[in-house]
Structure 1
Amino acid sequence: MEKLRIGVVGIGNMGSYHALCLNNGEIPNAELTAVCDTSPQRLKWASENLGAGVQRFDRAEMLFQSGLVDGVIIAVPHYDHPTLSIEAFKHHLHVLCEKPAGVYTKQVRRMNEAAAESGRVFGIMYNQRTNPLYLKLRELVKAGELGEIKRTNWIITNWYRPQAYYNSGGWRATWAGEGGGVMLNQCPHNLDLWQWTCGMPIRVRAFCGCGKYHDIEVEDDVTAYVEYKNGATGVFITSTGDAPGTNRFEITGDMGKIVIEDGKLNFWRNRLSEREFNKTTTIPFSQPEVWKCEVPLSGTETAHKGIIANWAEGILKGTPLLAPGEEGINGLQISNAIYLSSWLNDMVEIPVPENLYYEKLKEKIEASSYKKTVSEVKVSDVNGTFNSK
């Protein structure tokens, strides 16, 4: 094919953005041919803004069967990401899924299996992977410039939201509507970047404050401690109740430390590794010579457009994906483990015990103020209906 024909499923906030980018010709070798939404108002918006050449559907199944698309972007609420992606794979369509991959790993694992069986190109909208800051950080860590990692710390509290934000939709900040709070809504990119650069932790002990700063049923304040296979430790702190907030990502290794803050990447590099210095120095209270370097960055963050373009190239040219869809489960493993640790008041191993997590989540859904029934979030439920995201 010369041009990839793309459909967008869900034309709420993010879906409409993707649709406009495609319709305006901002993605090379790709065109928007169809959109889908269950809301008549959103379909009316599509008619007024996307032109007569873009077909409109009110059910995902109809779009999948239309023959008008080669691939779809799934931009619907969290619970429906895996179900609609699985259905798209059944129709032999390529899929680019919005973040998070889903709400619980049992559901997302089924999606990954469906992707593998389909042979289609599967991507996830981890647009922060196009940020030169994190690309350079990953390059330095993977090249061994930092040595063996000892400690990771991310304070990401610049998500402030007032009560009015949570009052804007009955589904917001509910276990049945969103499946979580700040961890699942605001932090999927951070959890992905954390594991993408530092690797996956093997166990978690976490404390989640549900409704600590707002009148909501899910968490708006989290402190999590993690351990890695090599003995390194990490802390992840986030909240929607801090004003002003902080965004500081610090990684300490044998060869120094790297800090990302205020859009800069600073590397305090030891001239000699700390472990080697520790063994050889005979001077009490001495420490390795250290050089502070502000690491230069190159390139431009292409964000959502970059991920869509890379996915399209993956389909058309076989280009490796910057954000393979199968990796969406990694950050979700961490957030599921954080929730379960808080609920059980105990340490939780990763991979998270999927069945136990699902049972505990169902209890939260049953008690939720948003009356989406438990049957609506079953792994096997693929009905092609959704609300705009």
Structure 2
Amino acid sequence: MNDVRVGIIGVGSMGTQHAKYLSTKEITGAKLTAVFDQSEDHANWIKENICHEVAVFYDCEAFFQSGLIDAVIIATPHYDHSKYAIQAFNHGLHVLSEKPAGVYTKQVREMNEAASNSGKVYSMMYNQRTNPLYVKLRDLIHSGELGEIRRMNWLITNWYRSQSYYDSGGWRATWAGEGGGVLINQCPHQLDLWQWITGMMPTRMRAFCYFGKHRNIEVEDDVTAFAEYENGATGVFITSTGEAPGTNRLEIAGDQGKVVIEDGKLSFWRLRVPESQFNEEYKGGFGSPECWKCDIPVLGEETGHQGITQNFVDAIQSKTSLIAPGEEGIKGLMLSNAMQLSTWLDNWVDLPIDEDLYFQQLQAKIKSSTVEKKNKITRLDVKETH
């Protein structure tokens, strides 16, 4: 079977990482054949330092029509993900896009439609889906071990960023450059996992985003959101880039116990009988269900970016099921958009959100975005590594 010829769009820090492992043959069945970046210096650096055989392009149409690629990895700033994905699908190419899927769900929906019409393989770089801790938790939930979900709390504040970090690029932390702050830049993995692990999306959300609370920036850097689900479950999502030391703690409670992931460990407190059964049968006063703390074996290693890319190539060559189908990228982004929209409207927001209303609100933010920062934005060479 011939190798899948891969082209990279955008060779900033993240695109360079992809180029490195592709050029060292870490992905079976794949070969790096081309790169495209509007910055000639960045594109040529890949050829001179990473892969001498790679073809370099500064014009996207020439890149797409080169006949040198079967698939692309998109590693550009957020706003450009959908644009280049749609172009790739229209040229009959498979697509693996960096997260997030985009900035607003309306553009991602268009990307999903283009993917569906093309019939090509479409994946999202949600590499945290290869983390054995989250894989095991998902298995516990979907196999029924935890019972019906009742409550989910995720406290994820270990994203500390200094003012100098934000000052390092005029595009950073602007509505025009990134389309948001901690939700769109740091948290896409957690927002994806939140719904992927449980298989549940909220019916409505109420969020409080604080814009420039800890730093001199115009986007959100501190968020607390409350979610309600169809089955009566609730969820709380808290994140910040201004706390040190930060915390990363996911707690999910169900009818049959509680699971916590923190400090790289999974802990499971299992009820001997479901809480609902105990409540129905118990006739005493202050009793509670018998609870066992169980050691859950978590096997395997996180394969990260390489794991998602290998899976993408395997899906092209052998129709292997995707770990992170691209169409699912809209779900985590829907949560992010809902949190921002709820704050802007100072009200509850139903899901799915009003996509046109969100787009209008975002455009207003972009128009008021810092002019100096907007003028400094470089579109293709600023993708942050996560």
TM range (shorter): over 0.9
Q: Is 1:6 aligned to 2:26, yes or no?
A: no
Contact 1:170–1:370 under 8 Å retained in 2:
no
1:155-234 correspondence runs (5 A): 155-198=155-198, 199-234=200-235
Deviation at 1:370, TM superposition (A): 4.7
Q: Is 1:324 aligned to 2:329, yes or no?
A: no
1:250-329 correspondence runs (5 A): 250-329=251-330
Give the secondary-structure state (helix, strand or coil) at the position aligned to 1:204.
Answer: strand
Deviation at 1:386, TM superposition (A): 3.7
Q: Is 1:73 aligned to 2:73, yes or no?
A: yes
Contact 1:177–1:370 under 8 Å retained in 2:
no
Contact 1:7–1:32 under 8 Å retained in 2:
yes
1:381 aligned residue: none
Matched residue type, 1:66: S
Give the secondary-structure state (helix, strand or coil) at the position aligned to 2:236.
Answer: strand
Identity %: 60
Structure 2: runs of 5+ lacking an equivalent = none
Deviation at 1:45, TM superposition (A): 1.0
Residue deviations 1:146-175, cap 9 Å, x none?
A: 000000000000000010100000000000
CA distance in 2, matches of 1:3, 1:143: 37
Residue deviations 1:315-373, cap 9 Å, x none?
A: 00000000000000000000000000000000001111000000000000000015688
CA distance in 2, matches of 1:128, 1:191: 11
Deviation at 1:129, TM superposition (A): 0.2
Residue deviations 1:55-114, cap 9 Å, x none?
A: 000122221110000000000000000010000000000000000000000000000000
Give the secondary-structure state (helix, strand or coil) at the position aligned to 2:222.
Answer: strand
Contact 1:89–1:118 under 8 Å retained in 2:
yes
1:42-191 correspondence runs (5 A): 42-191=42-191
Residue deviations 1:106-144, cap 9 Å, x none?
A: 000000000000000000000000000000000000001
Matched residue type, 1:97: S
1:20 aligned residue: 20
Residue deviations 1:12-70, cap 9 Å, x none?
A: 01100001110010101101000111112212311211333100001222211100000
Give the secondary-structure state (helix, strand or coil) at the position aligned to 1:222.
Answer: strand
Matched residue type, 1:259: V
Give the secondary-structure state (helix, strand or coil) at the position aligned to 1:326.
Answer: helix
Matched residue type, 2:209: C
Deviation at 1:2, TM superposition (A): 2.0
More off after superposition, 301-310 vs 288-297 = 288-297
Question: How many residue pairs were aligned?
Answer: 379
Give the secondary-structure state (helix, strand or coil) at the position aligned to 1:88.
Answer: helix
TM-score normalised according to structure 1 size: 0.96
CA distance in 1, matches of 2:372, 2:307: 37
Contact 2:149–2:254 under 8 Å retained in 1:
yes
CA distance in 1, matches of 2:262, 2:87: 41
Contact 1:174–1:370 under 8 Å retained in 2:
no
Give the secondary-structure state (helix, strand or coil) at the position aligned to 1:79.
Answer: helix
Residue deviations 1:224-244, cap 9 Å, x none?
A: 000011010000000000100
Deviation at 1:387, TM superposition (A): 4.2
CA distance in 2, matches of 1:317, 1:66: 25
Deviation at 1:303, TM superposition (A): 0.3
CA RMSD of aligned residues (A): 1.3
